[in-house]
């Protein structure tokens, strides 16, 4: 990240957190240059970027003023999760499938989608890397690149860890079919049917489905919408349930968008080390930060090989290529063996193509553009929600990723909103998808990974009307008829 981008992100962060408020005047270019110790042109470029993102505006001969920000955003949610602390069998998979399958059509406005717009990724450059890689592919690589995987690709991944200050040896890295494969393999390496596993509340439905598939019990732990899992509650759960693993998303959690501060990550690892419980760390959104640097994973604080770090290129570089990895610490051999017996290995040409792309350079430039696009889209969607949703709507303010979490007025049933919206050609991800106990009945996850074009803006307006109507159950059914319903 360039210096002016870093300065711009600092200021954007101050706006997001309300330190700078709507109408505030920014320091002059000269003042900021002196106080930040950067050149005036750096400040100028930062202000220009913020103006382009719709956060500030220049007034002639007067300076720059904040025109968006905390007051243009809905209030943040309460600490929404209060799971009961019991371990429960999971039975949510059918609900999740029914919802996901209903949202796959391109005709549906994809606020419920799990994926950002594929147009945000460098397919042409990837295609060139693939063409180069496949032309020089050695037939024997089909055997050599079997799990743990292509040696160059694993070295490139180890290098990226190093840039972020982590020492992960190439030998520890196992290439997988996306992060979901890595996470499942790590889980299978440490837990057997009937065991209990700690997850967040709300949690990524993929974790719930994995637990259900293997026959594991879920212990849901309260999770703060800004700072992630509650360590006090986690400590209690560790003592009470003796779980076999803890599966958490430390950076830009799906669905909340929460980001665990570094010190909290350190404390988390210390706590788990005390109980000798492995952490399965899902870090697929880590590269999509809007701040000035990549948040480190909890693995950075691990000295015992207890953290199984999982990530992928699916959200940051190459959707659909299905390439991820695990760096599972002391469980590396167990995870590699799980991989060998389930799918053997990742496609050799695809591994070679990504190794080629990463070696060529250009990934960081792409990531800057991607992060910028997502942060602009977040602002746009956030402001549209303010325009269209009723009072009483609350929203998280993630500083990365592409998901917002909405807490709607208490009477609103998110599953009803989902069904009604879908009949109008709009998808959302209703709260009960993210809970073993099917809680969060008045919450929605909103994907802002697609540009807010006219169709999407109109869809948000429709959603806002639906939410208003369902806030009063008597008018709820009538509300839908205002839209262009397919079913009626």
Find the binder of a second copy among 184, 378, 427, 442 (CB under 8 A): 184
Contact (Cβ atoms closer than 8 angstroms) between residue 231 and residue 405: no
Q: With 0-12 CB in 10 A as exposed, 13-18 as middle and 19+ as buried, what is 85?
A: middle
Q: Which is nearer to a second copy, 226 or 322 (CB)?
A: 322
Instruction: Find the binder of a second copy among 8, 43, 210, 404 (CB under 8 A).
Output: 210
Compute the distance between CA of residue 28 and CA of residue 51 in angstroms, rounded to an integer. Answer: 15
364: burial class by Cβ within 10 Å (0-12, 13-18, 19+)? Answer: exposed
With respect to a second copy, which residue has the nearer C-beta, 179 or 268?
A: 179
Is 282 a binding residue for a second copy by CB under 8 A? The answer is no
Rounded to whole angstroms, the Cα distance separating 244 from 55 reads: 46
> Which among 351, 363, 317, 366 has a CA at the least distance from the CA of 154?
351
Distance CA 104, CA 92 (A): 19
The footprint of a second copy on residues 97-136 (CB under 8 A) is: 97, 100, 104, 106, 115, 118-119, 121, 123, 126-127, 130-131, 134-135
Q: What share of the chain is helix, strand, coil (3-state, %, to 5)?
A: 45, 15, 40
CB of 432 to a second copy, least distance (A): 17
Q: State yes or no: residue 337 binds a second copy (CB under 8 A).
A: yes
270 binds a second copy (CB under 8 A): no
User: Which of 210, 479 has the CB closer to a second copy?
Assistant: 210
Which of the stretches 237-245, 285-293, 320-328, 377-385 binds a second copy when contact is defined by CB under 8 A? 320-328
CB of 116 to a second copy, least distance (A): 10
The CB density around residue 192, as the number of other CB atoms within 10 Å, is 10
How many Cα atoms are found within 13 Å in the side-chain-facing hemisphere of 17? 10
Kindly indicate which of the ranges 59-67, 209-217, 253-261, 397-405 contains the residues binding a second copy, using the contact rule CB under 8 A. Answer: 209-217
**Of positions 6, 33, 88, 141, contacts a second copy by CB under 8 A:** 141
CB of 367 to a second copy, least distance (A): 17
SS3 of residue 472 by DSSP: coil
Member of 81, 152, 177, 250 binding a second copy (CB under 8 A) = 177
Query: Is position 343 an interface residue for a second copy (rule: CB under 8 A)?
Result: yes
Going by C-alpha positions, the residue among 397, 405, 427, 402 that lies closest to residue 415 is: 427
Taking the least distance from each CB to a second copy, the nearer of 71 and 360 is 360
Span interacting with a second copy, options 7-15, 56-64, 263-271, 318-326, rule CB under 8 A: 318-326
Per rule CB under 8 A, count of chain residues that contact a second copy: 58
The secondary structure of 312-378 as a DSSP string is ESTTTT-TTS--EEEE-GGGHHHHHHHHHHHT----HHHHHHHHHHHHH--HHHHHHHHHHHHHHHH
Nearer to a second copy, 346 or 381 (CB): 346
Distance CA 310, CA 175 (A): 10
Smallest distance, a second copy to C-beta of residue 422, A: 17
Q: Quick one: 126 or 327, whose CB is closer to a second copy? A: 126
Which one among 22, 67, 95, 137 touches a second copy, defined by CB under 8 A?
137
Give me the torsion for CA of 317, 321, 322, 326, rounded to 10°: -50
Q: How far apart are the first and last CA of the chain?
A: 51
Closest CA to 1 of 370, 374, 449: 370
- In the complex, least distance from residue 231 CB atom to a second copy, rounded to whole angstroms: 29
Under the rule (CB under 8 A), what is the footprint of a second copy?
Answer: 93, 97, 100, 104, 106, 115, 118-119, 121, 123, 126-127, 130-131, 134-135, 137, 139-146, 176-178, 180-181, 184, 188, 192-193, 206, 209-210, 213, 215, 319-323, 337-338, 340-350, 353
């Amino acid at each position: 990240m360039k210096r002016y981008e870093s300065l711009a992100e600092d200021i954007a962060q101050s706006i997001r957190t309300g330190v700078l408020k709507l109408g505030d005047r920014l320091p002059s270019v000269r003042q900021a240059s002196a106080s930040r110790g950067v050149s005036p042109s750096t400040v100028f470029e930062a202000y220009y970027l913020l103006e382009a993102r719709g956060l500030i505006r220049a007034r002639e001969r007067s300076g720059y003023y904040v025109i968006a920000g905390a007051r243009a955003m809905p209030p943040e949610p309460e600490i929404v999760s209060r799971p009961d602390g019991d371990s429960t069998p999971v039975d949510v998979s059918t609900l999740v499938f029914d919802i996901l399958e209903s949202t796959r059509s391109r005709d549906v406005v994809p606020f419920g989608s799990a994926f950002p717009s594929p147009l945000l990724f460098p397919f042409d450059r990837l295609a060139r890397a693939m063409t180069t890689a496949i032309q020089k592919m050695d037939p024997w690589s089909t055997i050599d690149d079997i799990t743990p995987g292509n040696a160059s690709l694993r070295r490139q991944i180890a290098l990226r860890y190093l840039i972020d200050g982590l020492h992960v040896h190439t030998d520890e890295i196992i290439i997988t079919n996306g992060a979901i494969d890595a996470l499942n393999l790590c889980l299978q390496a440490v837990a057997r049917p009937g065991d209990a596993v700690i997850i967040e509340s709300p949690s990524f439905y993929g974790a719930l489905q994995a637990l259900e598939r293997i026959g594991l019990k879920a212990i849901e732990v309260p999770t703060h919408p800004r700072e992630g899992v509650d360590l006090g509650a986690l400590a209690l759960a560790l003592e009470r349930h003796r779980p076999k693993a803890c599966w958490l998303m430390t950076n830009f959690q799906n669905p909340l968008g929460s980001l665990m501060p570094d010190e909290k990550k350190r404390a988390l690892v210390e706590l788990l080390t005390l109980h000798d419980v492995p952490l399965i760390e899902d870090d697929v959104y880590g590269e999509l930060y809007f701040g000035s640097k990549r948040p480190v994973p909890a693995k950075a604080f691990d000295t015992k090989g207890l953290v199984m770090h999982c990530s992928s290129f699916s959200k940051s570089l190459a959707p659909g290529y299905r390439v991820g990895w695990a760096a599972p610490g002391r469980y590396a051999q167990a995870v590699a063996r799980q991989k060998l017996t389930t799918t053997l290995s990742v496609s050799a040409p695809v591994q070679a193509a990504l190794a080629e792309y990463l070696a060529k350079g250009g990934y960081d430039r792409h990531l800057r553009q991607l992060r910028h696009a997502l942060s602009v889209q977040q602002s746009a969607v956030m402001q549209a929600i303010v325009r269209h949703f009723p009072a009483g709507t609350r929203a998280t303010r993630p500083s990365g990723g592409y998901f917002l979490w909405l807490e709607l007025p208490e009477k609103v049933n998110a599953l009803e909103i989902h069904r009604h919206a879908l009949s109008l050609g709009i998808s959302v991800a209703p709260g009960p998808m993210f809970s073993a106990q099917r809680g969060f009945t008045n919450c929605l996850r909103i994907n802002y990974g697609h540009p807010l074009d006219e169709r999407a803006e109109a869809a948000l307006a429709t959603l806002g009307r639906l939410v208003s109507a369902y806030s009063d159950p008597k008018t709820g059914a009538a509300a839908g008829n205002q839209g262009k319903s397919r079913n009626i």
